[in-house]
């Protein structure tokens, strides 16, 4: 766990280290605005750290998953399945690549187009609060 607070927690995918970095940047920006978030470097997609995810999900009901991967059938979907299996209700927003054709371009442009930026994470957190 990178930082634990109580409003929202962000679970980046371990597979794409750049999303952990973006989540930490968003954490720092939100902290400046008095918004506390928890950032978890969820280093393993398989197997999930079920104990940690369940424990945090019982305490914090606003959850954002971030992955540089398809959100359909991805890390965020695995979190949804885990919470459903354990009868845990939460407000979940998945940030990732939508199921559509992605044009060619630089990684910076593609991440921005897909909302995989600290700015979009900040905006998403604010909408959830």
Span 32-45, mean pLDDT? 85
Alpha carbon of 99 to those of 59, 72, 95, 103, 114: distances in Å?
31, 7, 12, 13, 11
CA distance 109 to 72: 22
**51-105 per-position pLDDT tens digit:** 988 998 888 888 999 998 889 998 999 999 999 999 999 999 999 988 888 888 8
Task: Identify each DSSP E strand in 55-97 by its residue range.
Answer: 62-70, 91-97
Question: CB atoms < 10 A from the CB of 84, how many?
Answer: 11
Q: Is the pLDDT reported for residue 12 higher than 80?
A: no
The three-point CA angle 81-37-94 to 5° equals 35
Question: What are the sequence ranges of the domains in the chain?
Answer: 8-128
pLDDT classification of 13: cutoffs 50, 70, 90: very low
Structure tokens at 37: 């978030």
Higher local confidence (pLDDT), 77 or 3: 77
* pLDDT for position 3: 58
* pLDDT for position 8: 55
Contacts of 26 (CB under 8 A, 6+ apart): 10, 37, 118, 119, 121, 122, 125
Span 19-45, mean pLDDT? 88
Higher local confidence (pLDDT), 28 or 60: 28
The helices-and-strands tally (H runs, E runs) of the chain is 5, 4
* pLDDT for position 10: 57
CATH architecture of residue range(s) 8-128? 3-Layer(aba) Sandwich (3.40)
Q: Is the pLDDT reported for residue 17 higher than 80?
A: no
């Amino acid at each position: 766990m990178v930082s634990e607070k109580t409003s929202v927690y962000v679970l980046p995918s371990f597979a794409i280290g750049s999303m952990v970095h973006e989540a930490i940047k968003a954490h720092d920006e939100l902290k400046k605005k008095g918004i506390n978030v928890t950032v978890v470097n969820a280093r393993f997609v398989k197997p999930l750290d079920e104990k940690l995810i369940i424990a945090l999900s019982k305490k914090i009901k606003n959850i954002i998953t971030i992955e540089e991967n398809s959100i359909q059938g991805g890390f965020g979907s695995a979190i949804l399945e885990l919470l459903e299996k354990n009868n845990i209700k939460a407000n979940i927003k998945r940030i990732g690549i939508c199921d559509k054709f992605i044009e060619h371009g630089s990684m910076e442009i593609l991440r921005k187009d897909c909302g995989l930026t600290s700015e979009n994470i900040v905006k998403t957190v604010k909408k959830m609060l």
